Structure 1
């Protein structure tokens, strides 16, 4: 099952639709709500693009103007709400995202795919540095999560749990891979090392 191609695929558009699902808001209030609810820790949010995203959602009929607020000498604030089409799009999009795994391309995977350009000893040094950082992230993330559990229902913390779990999984993998490179048990590590010491690319690598 493939995910449907959407008119707007920007994660910020999804965040805006989900925020307006709570109630109609003006763009500044949307930004405040995203920050207050911590959505900027799970979604890459460019607040400078927020007005453009809202306008694009309106152009596609997913949100509509529901009110124009006027308070004293302040500039007018246009309030937007979801249309029926917007609610339907939000539901369908969320269903796709929850059910259909999509291949993503994290830059760390790209680096691993071409790590042969570095000497194995250098890779060990750099991954040790990465592992130290990951372990600090795990410890601080675990502490932060325990603190959040005291004031928020777990329902609102599942993305934070997932983030922590993925950092822990990455740390575990890096730890195991490091041991293989250090101990020389990684298949091909001798040829990899020899290439950097002789400058000759082994036939198996070509």
Structure 2
């Protein structure tokens, strides 16, 4: 069962995961998220990163360790993970990895209501989606290869591997759905069903 968290933003989880490796300031946290490609899975901006670090501090998961200044740069506060933060990180990670969670993607909503569209239009729109999916699959594969070529460890690409697997599964599903919509007699049965509901 999903637990209620003091800080439930996935960005907080990512911040704690980096801080378990050692203290750092939020700017460095952001740089690490970008270097490892995690910014594709966790959306954030500089302001939201500082905000989530402050939420973690208020929750007792991180503490200010020191303030440093490098050259002409402004002072930066370095944060360290507390024992409570470490326990929260591992508990949250174990929950997310072990327990499937029902999510509500927009495409699932659209599919549940697809019968309001004409079958021909639905097939045409799905064709456009398939083109976009195909481009995303190619882009994701190329990005993964570039990161590997750059020396990034495979463990930092598992979320991209998962994303690629999901994209490829959706590609197959959409292709099959388009084929179903174009089968002879399908449009008539669909329209008959829709007329019987009105």
| Same-fold status (TM-score > 0.5) | yes
Instruction: Give the secondary structure class of the aligned counterpart of 2:128.
Output: helix
Q: Deviations over 1:166-202 (max 9, x none)?
A: 100000000011101101465xx4243357xxxxx53
Which residue in the other structure is 1:177 paired with? 177
Which residue in the other structure is 1:21 paired with? 20
Cα offset, 1:131, TM superposition: 0.9
Q: Distance in 1 between matches of 2:148 and 2:109?
A: 35
Which residue in the other structure is 1:99 paired with? 98
Question: What is the root-mean-square deviation in Å for CA atoms of aligned residues?
Answer: 1.9
Judging changes above 3 Å, is the alpha-carbon distance between structure 1 residues 33 and 193 closer, same or farther for their aligned structure 2 residues? same
Is the Cα–Cα contact under 8 Å of residues 137 and 167 in structure 2 kept in the other structure? yes
Q: Deviations over 1:66-104 (max 9, x none)?
A: 111134554321110100000010000000000000000
Judging changes above 3 Å, is the alpha-carbon distance between structure 1 residues 62 and 127 closer, same or farther for their aligned structure 2 residues? same
Is the Cα–Cα contact under 8 Å of residues 37 and 156 in structure 2 kept in the other structure? no
Judging changes above 3 Å, is the alpha-carbon distance between structure 1 residues 63 and 121 closer, same or farther for their aligned structure 2 residues? same
1:105-120 to structure 2, matched below 5 A, reads 105-120=104-119
More divergent stretch after superposition (33-42 vs 169-178): 33-42
Which residue in the other structure is 1:165 paired with? 165
The size of the alignment, in residue pairs, is 197
Instruction: Give the secondary structure class of the aligned counterpart of 1:112.
Output: helix
More divergent stretch after superposition (167-176 vs 148-157): 148-157
Which residue in the other structure is 1:59 paired with? 58
Task: Detail structure 1 runs of 4+ shifted over 6 Å in the superposition.
Answer: none
Which residue in the other structure is 2:191 paired with? 193
Runs (5+) with no aligned partner, structure 2: none
Is the Cα–Cα contact under 8 Å of residues 65 and 80 in structure 2 kept in the other structure? yes
Which residue in the other structure is 1:49 paired with? 48
Which residue in the other structure is 1:198 paired with? none
Q: Distance in 2 between matches of 1:66 and 1:18?
A: 17
Q: Distance in 1 between matches of 2:20 and 2:185?
A: 53
Is the Cα–Cα contact under 8 Å of residues 64 and 82 in structure 1 kept in the other structure? yes
Is the Cα–Cα contact under 8 Å of residues 119 and 181 in structure 2 kept in the other structure? yes
Runs (5+) with no aligned partner, structure 1: 196-200
Higher relative contact order (CA 8 A, sep 6+): 2
